[in-house]
């Protein structure tokens, strides 16, 4: 089961999760280098509504990203809290897919 980045990432976009991913399956609408060039405290203002996503077809479920997320936004899709379950579909849609 792939991991999912929930809406708690919005405004944070700390790219350390992408840096530790061994298969480079974490992507977003803005290049990681661009996000990293902006101080963390300013990302929510400079990039409102932006978050990162995990490609469900590429994720190998290693969990490396989970412990690196400073806002605990990453969960296995079967463990996403009920109030954030819509984020599973949003994650799949980002990659132009329907939830499996």
Q: Over its length of 100 residues, how does the chain's per-residue pLDDT go in tens digits?
A: 789 999 999 989 999 999 999 999 999 999 999 999 999 899 999 999 999 999 999 999 999 999 999 999 999 999 999 999 999 999 999 998 655 4
- The CATH number covering residue 77 comes to 3.30.70.20
Whose CA is closest to 74, among 51, 57, 100? 51
The secondary structure of residue 47, as a DSSP letter, is S
User: In sequence order, which residues have a C-beta less than 8 Å from that of residue 99 and are 6 or more positions away?
Assistant: 88, 89, 92
pLDDT of residue 98: 55
Rounded to two decimals, the pTM is 0.90
CA Rg value for the chain:
12
**Residue 100 placed within a domain:** no
pLDDT of residue 28: 94
Q: Please count the structural domains in the chain.
A: 1
Residue ranges making up the domain that contains 79? 3-94
């Amino acid at each position: 089961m792939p991991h999912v980045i929930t809406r708690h990432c919005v405004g944070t976009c700390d790219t350390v999760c992408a840096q530790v991913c061994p298969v480079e399956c974490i992507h977003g609408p803005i290049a990681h280098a661009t996000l990293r060039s902006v101080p963390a405290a300013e990302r929510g203002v400079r990039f409102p509504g932006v978050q990162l996503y995990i490609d469900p077809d590429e994720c190998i479920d290693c969990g490396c990203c989970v412990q690196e997320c400073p806002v605990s936004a990453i969960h296995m899709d079967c463990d996403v809290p009920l109030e954030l379950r819509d984020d599973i579909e949003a994650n799949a849609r980002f990659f132009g897919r329907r939830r499996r």
